[in-house]
A and B are shown apart, each in its own frame.
Chain A
Amino acid sequence: MVERDTYLDGLFGSLADPIRRDMLQRLINAQYTVSQLAQHYAMSFAAVAKHLHVLEKAKLVVKQRRGKEQVVSIAPAALYDASEYLARYEALWSQRFDSLENVLKEDA
């Protein structure tokens, strides 16, 4: 759990609130209705809904109505950011390795 927290700390460095980080952490693994999610926190339903609203406004989660309930899931963009970091690191190494390949060719 601690490890997952620090992962999100890094990923969403600007997302200071630990409750919102915890919500994102849960949502990476599964969808929740608002009331299901609220059960995990020692705070009012309204307070949970407010946190979700912040996340929704930041486009990190999306809400969909399903019958009487609202289902919350992580926004593709939030996951995309994680893969984006990796893609850029991969691009750095690709650049190095392509240069290295040229060096290997020159060095007969």
Chain B
Amino acid sequence: MNKAIVTANPGESTIRIERMFDAPREKFFRVITDKNLIPKWWVGPGYEVRVEEMDVRDGGRWKFIQKMQDGKEFAFFGSYHEVTAPERVIQTFEFDGMPERGHVVMEKMELAEIEDGQTKLTITQAFFSVQDRDGLLQTGMEEGMQNTYNTLDKVLAEA
């Protein structure tokens, strides 16, 4: 099984995600830009995703709705800056669950063709600030992490 590698260096405002796939680049590009297939893979723990809008071309818009188990809905949305099949997509990304607008991420997705019909995917996410980046890393964290920090809060308050 191929493994995803995520890199986020301390003090930098980017995240890099890399993964190798056993599929030729053309096919890979076709599948990941197919709005009917998004709900099958753009998933996460405890929620479903539906595509409200996905117009994969320069200047097109996209919007995915995340439905939580309790029925609450959040949206991820943005627009495509550059769509160059089958090698590159540059798009913006924003999450409407943030307290205010403006926390926009620039996302670059690159597909490199490797021999034997393999494709290497590299996603680079560029944030406005380190704080924005670390905020994203903390979203969707399990209760457990929150508990750790609540405990830390208490310890610090008592000190």
Interface size in chain A (residues, C-beta < 8 A) = 39
Which of chain B's residues have a CB closer than 8 A to the CB of A11? 134
Chain B residue at minimum C-beta to C-beta distance from A84: B145
Which of chain B's residues have a CB closer than 8 A to the CB of A93? 4, 6, 17, 19
Selected from A6, A53, A85, A99, the residue in CB contact (under 8 A) with B41 is A99
Select the residue from A16, A95, A97 with max chain B CB neighbours within 10 A.
Answer: A97
Which of chain B's residues have a CB closer than 8 A to the CB of A7? 10-11, 130-131, 134
Which of chain B's residues have a CB closer than 8 A to the CB of A92? 44-45, 140
Given A13-B149, A54-B159, A85-B141, residue A100 in contact with residue B11 (CB < 8 A): no
Q: Do A101 and B22 touch across chains, with their CB atoms under 8 A apart?
A: yes
* A97 CA / B44 CA spacing, docked (Å): 11
Q: Is the interface of A mostly helix, strand, loop or mixed?
A: helix
Q: Is the interface of B mostly helix, strand, loop or mixed?
A: mixed
Interface membership of A82, Cβ < 8 A: yes
Interface residues in B86-131 by Cβ distance below 8 A to A read: 121, 129-131
Given A99-B43, A104-B28, residue A10 in contact with residue B135 (CB < 8 A): yes
In the assembled complex, how far is the CB of residue A101 from the closest CB belonging to chain B, in whole angstroms? Answer: 6
Interface membership of A14, Cβ < 8 A: yes
15 contacts between A and B (CB under 8 A): A3-B13, A6-B129, A10-B135, A54-B156, A54-B159, A58-B152, A58-B155, A81-B148, A84-B145, A89-B8, A97-B2, A97-B4, A99-B43, A100-B32, A100-B41
Which residues of A are interface residues toward B (Cβ below 8 A)? 3-4, 6-7, 9-16, 28, 53-54, 57-58, 81-82, 84-86, 88-90, 92-104, 107
Q: 12 other contacts beyond A57-B159, A97-B19, with CB at 8 A cut-off?
A: A7-B134, A10-B131, A13-B138, A53-B159, A81-B148, A89-B136, A93-B19, A95-B45, A99-B40, A104-B28, A107-B27, A107-B31
